[in-house]
Amino acid sequence: MSAETASSASAVEAIVLAVEDPELPHVTIGDLGMVRSVTIDGAGGVEVVLTPTYTGCPATEQIRDDVVGALTESGLSATVRFAMSPPWTTDWITAEGRRKLREAGITPPEHLGASTVSVTLRQPAPACPRCGGRESRLISEFGGTACKSSHVCTTCLEPFERFKAI
C-alpha cells in the first residue's frame, strides 16, 4: 500500500469515526465503538460496517444516513451495513468517549470485561459526573433514551444520567 493510499484510507476512516451519534451528539459513533470496519474498493466506493448499541435502537437509520451523507460530502459512494454479532458492549466505548460522556453530565458505564458479561438487576451506584460522589438515588430506569437511566446525586443533589452497561 502506498503512502498516499494509506493516507486516504486514514482520512476516510476519520470521516466515519467523526459522525456524531444523533441521540448523544456530544459523542461520535467512533467514541462509542460502533464502527467495525471501513473498506475502500478500487473504484472509490466505501463499505462501512457498524454495530448498533442496541438492537432496537431508534437512531440506527439516522446513523446510516449520517455516515452515508458524510462520505458523500467527501465525494465518495458509500454503503452501510449493520453487524449484530458480536453484539455491541459498553466495553467498546473509548476512553475519549467516556470522558465526553462525563463532561456532558452522563456517567459512563463501568467496564464489564469480556468474560464477565452477565445480566444483573442491580449495578453498583454510579459516580456523579459532577462531584464524583458515589451515593445516588435512581429516579427512572429510563433516561432521555432507553440506553440511559436517570439518577440524583445525594451529595451535590444534582440530577444526572448513567449510560447503562451491557
Q: Where are the domains of the chain?
A: 3-82, 107-163
Q: What is the pLDDT of residue 159?
A: 94
The answer to whether residues 31 and 97 touch, using CB atoms and an 8 Å cutoff, is yes
- Per the model's pLDDT, the better-predicted residue between 113 and 3 turns out to be 113
Q: In this predicted model, what pLDDT tens digit does every residue of 71-112 receive, in sequence order?
A: 999 999 999 999 999 999 999 999 999 999 999 999 988 876
Torsion sign (Cα): 47, 91, 156, 146: positive
Q: What is the pLDDT of residue 120?
A: 39
Indicate the pTM of the whole model. 0.73
Q: What is the pLDDT of residue 123?
A: 60
- Is the pLDDT at 3 greater than 50? The verdict is no
Q: Is residue 35 helix, strand or coil?
A: strand
Q: In this predicted model, what pLDDT tens digit does every residue of 129-144 receive, in sequence order?
A: 999 998 898 889 888 8
* Reported confidence tier of residue 152, pLDDT bands at 50, 70, 90: very high
* Domain topology for 3-82: GMP Synthetase; Chain A, domain 3 (3.30.300)
- Is the pLDDT at 4 greater than 60? The verdict is no
Cβ burial 103-123 (10 Å sphere, 16+ → b, else e)? eeebbbbeebeeeeeeeeeee
Nearest to 17 by CA among 34, 8, 30, 31: 30
- Is the pLDDT at 114 greater than 60? The verdict is no
